Chain A
């Protein structure tokens, strides 16, 4: 499982830096991926 998260991070950084939305870098696809991952991770909460 170590390679997969690292790959996700690298892909996220690349994508996030390359494609900011609306000229605001912290709303890049990286941030949207963060929102998605946070939501999915929380499904594992009791």
Chain B
């Protein structure tokens, strides 16, 4: 995802500065998170009564407990997702359009590979909050952190490249290698948030 902002060779976005593309990328990501959270929160409040939302939260938490335990046991449970990376063709749509779409894809979360069951807690919680404000706060937090970390990686890469000549291509494998650790922490967090939900709903 950093490549869309950082790279430029052969694409129409080469005339735009990385800073301006970063801003558009960030705006796209946060806007997508706000939109998703707002729609889900509104939908939950409109379509579901409070007791129905609690009931669904208990069901979702029960499923999450099982998933968390299975994942911690070292077994991968396939998750429903759009299994693709950010389309590189987006870079051909223009610098700002590509950056905005890329940010929106990451901020929404579901437009590209999801990878972790923990992600589903975000839209489910936004929906079951039944509140536009809380939905926006939750999903917006997710989106802001995701695009924020991406931009931090970009800035870090530029700093490292200037300092030691290490390119993004050299850094990326190190980040990808952290996936098993991220999977363990995510499974624990999934178990934790699901347990919290069950306890708080007096089940």
Residues of A within 8 A of B (CB): 1, 4-6, 8-10, 12-13, 16-17, 20-22, 24-28, 30-46
Q: How many whole Å from A31's CB to the nearest CB in chain B? A: 5
The answer for the CA separation of A35 and B191 in the assembled complex, in Å, is 14
Q: How many whole Å from A15's CB to the nearest CB in chain B? A: 9
The answer for the CA separation of A30 and B192 in the assembled complex, in Å, is 8
Q: Tell whether A40 pairs with B125 under 8 Å between CB atoms, given A22-B131, A34-B118.
A: no
B149: A residues at CB distance < 8 A = 39-40, 43
Residues of B within 8 A of A (CB): 57, 85, 106, 109, 113-116, 118-119, 121-122, 125, 128-131, 133-134, 137-139, 141-143, 145-146, 149-150, 153, 175-176, 178-179, 181-193, 195-197, 199-201
B184: A residues at CB distance < 8 A = 1, 5
The answer for the CA separation of A13 and B113 in the assembled complex, in Å, is 28
Does B134 lie within 8 Å of A22, measured CB to CB?
A: yes
The answer for the CA separation of A5 and B188 in the assembled complex, in Å, is 6
Does A6 lie within 8 Å of B175, measured CB to CB?
A: no
Q: List 25 A-B contacts (CB under 8 A).
A: A1-B181, A5-B188, A8-B192, A9-B191, A13-B195, A17-B199, A22-B134, A24-B130, A25-B196, A25-B197, A26-B57, A27-B129, A34-B118, A34-B121, A34-B122, A35-B138, A38-B116, A38-B118, A38-B119, A39-B149, A41-B115, A41-B185, A44-B176, A45-B113, A45-B176
